[in-house]
Each structure stands twice: as C-alpha cells, then as structure tokens.
Chains A and B, each alone.
Chain A
Amino acid sequence: MNTLLSFVAQVGQRSLQSVREIGYHAALLAEACYWLLFGRWRRQPVRLGAIFREAVGVGVNAIPIVALASFATGMMLAIQGIYTLRTFGAEGQVVLGISLSVTREFAPLITGIFVAGRSGSAIAARIGTMQISQEIDALRVIGINPVRYLVAPLLAAMLLTLPALTVMSDLIALFGGALYCAGELSLPIGIFFARTFEVLVAQDVIHGVLKSLIFAVIITLIGSANGFNVTAGAEGVGRATTRAVVLGCIGIILADMVFTFLTSR
C-alpha cells in the first residue's frame, strides 16, 4: 500500500515538474521574443554585433560537420533507395525518393540534431557556468537582463542560421545522392539535378525550412533553460549539458513528427 502510494506520489511530482518546465520554456521564449522586438524601446537593445557573433558560433562553425553528415546521408539514401527499388525493377525512380526525403525530412533533421549536439550543450554549459559563478547575478545588478543579453541574440542567430544550414544540407545531400547514382546507375549528375528540380515543388523545400525554424527555437530554449536552472556546482553543469543534448534531440524528433503529421496528410 505504502509503495503504491509513493509510486502515485512520484508520478504526480514528475508530472508537476514537467508542466512547470514546459511553462518555464514558454516564458523564456516569450521574454526572448519580447526583448528582440521591443528591447530598443525599453533601453535593453539586442545588439546586432552579438547576434552576428552567435551566428558565427552556432551556424558558420557548424558548416563542415553538417556538410559531411548531409553528404553521407544523401549517399546512404541513394544506396538504400536503389537496393529497395531494384526489387520492383524501378531503380529509375530513386531520384524522386531522394529529393523528397532529403528536402522534406533528412536535411532539416540532420542539421537540427547536429546543431543540438554542438550548440545545445555549449549553450547549457556557458549559461550554467555563469549561473554558478554568479555572473548572471552580476549581469542583473549591472542592469542587464540576462535573457536579453544571453538568450535573445542566440535565438535570433539560430533562427537565421538553421534555415540557411538546412538549405545547404539539401544541396549537399542531393549531391551525395547524385554522385552515387552516377556511379551505380550511370546517371549523369546534371540529369539527376534536372530531374530533382522537376519533381520538387517550392512547398517541399519550404516544409523543411519551416521545420528548421521550429528546431532553432527548441535547441535555444532547452539549452538556455537547462543552463539557467543549474544549481549544484560543476556537477550540475555537467548534468545540464547532457540533459540539453538529450532533451534537445528528443524534442526535435517529436516536433518533427507532430509537424509532419499536421502538414503532410
């Protein structure tokens, strides 16, 4: 009886905790957007320089790793696609499969997951370290709103760079697929891309880019929220970075599923 009671109590506490956390994320998003839009009139402007610095950190510096992963993904899709379609003798249709799955699904997902792994943990570690060394308090007593100073530029940078990375990922993954098809099916790369642009409509690319905007918000919020909530010293920072990556990736995949469900039926 007692164990059952404590089990129920635990479930209740966990749910309460989750609801509180979701609320915290929502408040953080609202505040970051508020400072981005109205900070200038509240004497708390979000500086363009800060946005560009963050954009280089989370976006430009992620180009090599995202490019490599996208190339490999495109090639992998080509290999699997040809293998599967060969059963029906329909290898020729592989271009259709690659172009649609890359632009609608794989490019935004790969980009999101890699940026979450690279930057989600970095954001949590940076804000968490600032929290335990009282730097956040120092910001507040100087009169600098920590969300305006740390989260808002990051959110703007993510919203700018993630769609750009996604489009880049689109092109590189398609190139990877084209390269494999050129070898396996003797399909010239030019023809591959010509067919790709035949089957793709703008809607497909926009679908992927919209997803990347949602991922940008998720990565920023989960990273910063975990950073701000660090309490238990250096160990807490470690836990927050792990949590930021794990929750970030899960969040991205779940959001992807929901978004695809709502828009693709």
Chain B
Amino acid sequence: MQIPELAIDVSHLVTHYGSRKILDDISFQARQGEIMVIMGGSGSGKSTLLRHLLGLHQPTSGSIRLLGKDITQLNADQMYDLRKNMGVAFQGGALFNSMTVGENVELPLREHARLDENTMRIMSRMKLEVVNLAGFENLMPAELSGGMIKRAALARAIVMDPRLLFFDEPSAGLDPVVSAELDELILILRDAMNMTIVVVTHELESAFKIADRITVLDQGRILMSDTVTAVRASDNPRIQSLLNRTPRNEAINPDEYMERLTREIF
C-alpha cells in the first residue's frame, strides 16, 4: 500500500452538540511522521475535535481523512480495518479495571490478530519495556500510580504498531518530572516508528518541546496551524494571551449582555 503524504487531512469540519455549534470550519493537515499538537484553553473544542478524529461521533459537515480514507464515509468494516492503524491513549488512561495491565495491553492483539498466547505475551511485554513498565504486567490498574497508568495506556495504544497515535492530555495531573519523561517517550516513539502523533494538551511547555507543528483552537475555530516558531512569533492577541497566560479581556456588548440576562423572562 502506498503511504499517502498526508496522514491526517481535516477539511471544513463543522460539529454541533444538540443545537450548539462546537467546532466551526476546522481545517488542518498533518504529515506522516509529524507530531501535531492541538492546543487550546478549556472549552476551546479540542476534546471534541479529538473525539471526531477518533471516529466516535459523526460531524455535521466536512471531512476527516485519516491515512487517505475519509472516516465520515467509511462503513463499519472499513473503519474496523483502519482502527488497526490507530492507537489512542486517553486522558484518564481508560484501562479496563477488570483486567491486569498485561491483559489490557494484549487486548488489541487478541481482537485483531490471530496469534498464540505466548507471542501475544511477548509482544505486550515488549511494549511495556518501551514505556518502562517491565515487570508490571500482572498488576491491576488500580494498583498503579497516575503516571504509570498513562504509560500503560500508551503501551496499549502502540501494541499494534499503529501509524497514527492520539494522545489526550499526556501531562494532565502529573508532576513535571513524570510529564517530561512522557514527552521524551513521545519523541522516541516518533523517531523509532515514524508514527504520526496527535497530542491534545493545554501545557505550553510540553507542547513547544514535542511539537513539529501546533494547531491552536479557540472557541471552536482554528486560530492558526503552523510550526512552533511561527506560533511563538504570532501577533494574534488570543494566541499571545494563551502563551503569556494573561486573562482574556473582551469588550462586552451592552445590548447582548442585557439580552442574555433577560432571556426568556420578558
């Protein structure tokens, strides 16, 4: 199979939650082997964007091409095949609590590949080695620390050697040392396996360290999608306030303000 140049190609994506518009005309691209960081404050729509990239929701309009296939048009079987090339590490890890760490990591293999028990066990141990969790495969998720859970989730995400890896808030809730180690791990994975990695985060430091390119989201729109240097140099006030951690000072329109306060009363 020919590897397309663009691993991710989102164009004119619009999504609604009920009648509320969450994402508005989102377009961005990521090349194979690139680390794309999606950045934005709380409520900017970055989690929603991630959920759409994962094919968990149907968008209102627009297209999402992953590895050359438009996931909004795929049927269940084609999506099933594509998922073998996608790995996801969720924010809270989302390890299955009823299984050991090792069984968690083996699960994608068990579902997608016909391998014997020992091969699967060796493969899952190899991935646990990669994330420095060797020897922990018989523990239950409840017995792990926050950082270990994230690393175990990462091991499960890469066990199929996916071409696309999605990582939701790798540093949320972790101390600086552990999150720096995770950043390091992401870089190693990209270099060793040429994965395209999408990281959703609001941590500036981590974003600048790992990103090849950054997409900045704000209130459901893309402010910019460019290289790290370009984002740093941007003179967009919203980006600057995100970079400098200044609170937003928006001018309030008095009429709109009155309308919001008195809605459904008069």
Binding site for B on A (CB under 8 A): 42-43, 129-130, 133-135, 137-138, 140-144
Which listed segment binds A: B5-13, B92-100, B229-237, B249-257?
Answer: B92-100
* Contact call B90/A138, Cβ cutoff below 8 A: yes
Do B92 and A133 touch (CB < 8 A)? Answer: yes
Do the beta carbons of B83 and A137 come within 8 Å of each other? no
A134 adjacent to B111 (CB under 8 Å): no
B97:A141 contact, CB within 8 angstroms: no
Residue of A nearest to B81 (CB): A143
Cα of A142 to Cα of B51 in the assembled complex, Å: 14
A residues near B97, Cβ cutoff 8 Å: 129, 133, 135
Contact of A138 among B51, B76, B80, B96 (CB under 8 A): B96
- Name which residue of chain A comes closest to B84, CB basis: A143
Given contacts A42-B77, A134-B90, A137-B90, contact A142 B83 (CB under 8 A): yes
Q: Which residue of A lies closest to B91 (CB)?
A: A134
Min CB distance, B24 to chain A, in Å?
24
A144 to B76 CA separation, bound complex (whole angstroms): 11
A137 to B95, CA, bound (A): 11
A142 touches B108 (CB 8 A): yes
Distance of A20 from chain B, by nearest CB (Å): 14
Q: Once the chains bind, are B107 and A137 in contact (CB under 8 Å)?
A: no
Q: Which of A42, A129, A137, A142 has the most B CB atoms < 10 Å from its CB?
A: A142
Report the separation of the CA atoms of residues A140 and B95 in the bound assembly, to the nearest whole angstrom.
Answer: 13
Main secondary structure of the interface of A (DSSP, over half): helix
A and B contact pairs by CB, cutoff 8 A, 15 listed: A42-B76, A42-B77, A130-B96, A133-B92, A133-B97, A134-B90, A134-B94, A135-B97, A138-B94, A138-B96, A141-B83, A142-B111, A143-B79, A143-B83, A144-B111
Taking the complex as formed, is B54 at the interface, i.e. its CB lies under 8 A from any CB of chain A? yes
Given known contacts A42-B77, A43-B80, A134-B91, is B86 in contact with A141 (CB within 8 Å)?
yes
How many angstroms between the C-alpha atoms of A148 and B188 in the bound complex? 36
- Contact A143 B94, CB 8 Å, known A137-B56, A138-B88: no
- A140 and B107 form a contact (CB under 8 A): no
Are B92 and A134 in contact, with the CB atoms below 8 A? Answer: yes
Q: Separation in Å of the B204 CB from the closest CB of chain A? A: 25
Q: B43-81: contact bitstring with A at CB < 8 Å (1 yes, 0 no)?
A: 000000001001110000000000000000000110110
Q: In the complex, what residues of A have CB within 8 A of residue B86's CB?
A: 141
- Residues of chain A within 8 A (CB-CB) of B51 are 137
Contact in complex: A142, B107 (CB < 8 Å): yes
- Choose among A42, A43, A129, A141 the residue that contacts B88 (Cβ–Cβ < 8 A): A141
Which residues of the partner chain B approach A142 to less than 8 Å between Cβ atoms? 83, 107-108, 111
B112: CB under 8 A from chain A? Answer: yes
Bound CA span A234–B68, Å: 40
Which B residues fall within an 8 A CB radius of A?
A: 51, 54-56, 76-77, 79-80, 83-84, 86, 88, 90-92, 94-97, 107-108, 111-112
Neighbouring B residues of A144 by C-beta, 8 Å: 107, 111
Of A42, A130, A143, the contact of B111 (CB 8 Å cutoff): A143
A38 to B108, CA, bound (A): 21
Asked whether B107 lies within 8 Å of A135 as measured between CB atoms, the reply is: no
Please measure, in the bound complex, the distance between the C-alpha atom of A137 and the C-alpha atom of B94, giving whole angstroms. Answer: 8
Q: Which residue of A lies closest to B82 (CB)?
A: A143
- How far does the alpha carbon of A137 sit from the alpha carbon of B83 in the complex, in Å? 13
- Bound-state CA distance A125–B110 (Å) is 26
| Contact flag A140-B96 (CB < 8 Å), given A42-B77, A43-B80, A134-B91 | no
5 additional A-B residue pairs with CB within 8 Å, beyond A42-B77, A134-B91, A141-B86:
A135-B94, A141-B88, A142-B108, A143-B83, A143-B112
Residue pair A141, B111 in contact (C-beta under 8 Å): no
Chain B residues within an 8 Å CB radius of A43 = 77, 80
A5 shortest CB reach to chain B, Å: 14
CA distance A137 to B54 in the complex (A): 9
Chain A residues closer than 8 Å to B76, beta-carbon distance: 42
Cα distance, A143 to B156, chains bound together (Å): 13
- Cα-based distance from A134 to B86 in the complex (angstroms): 17
Please give the distance in Å from A176's CB to the nearest CB on chain B: 37
Query: Contact at B54–A141, with CB atoms within 8 Å?
Result: yes
Residue of B nearest to A139 (CB): B96
Complex Cα gap A123–B196 (Å): 38
Residues of A within 8 A of B91 (CB): 134
Expressed in whole angstroms, the Cα–Cα distance for A141 and B54 within the complex equals 7
Q: Give the top 4 A-B pairs by smallest Cβ distance, nearest first.
A: A143-B83, A138-B94, A134-B94, A141-B88
CB distance from A147 to the nearest CB of B (A): 12
Bound complex: CA A43 to CA B79 (Å): 12
Least CB distance, B189 to chain A, in whole angstroms:
17
B52 to chain A, nearest CB (A): 12
> Chain A contacts of B80 at CB under 8 A?
43, 143
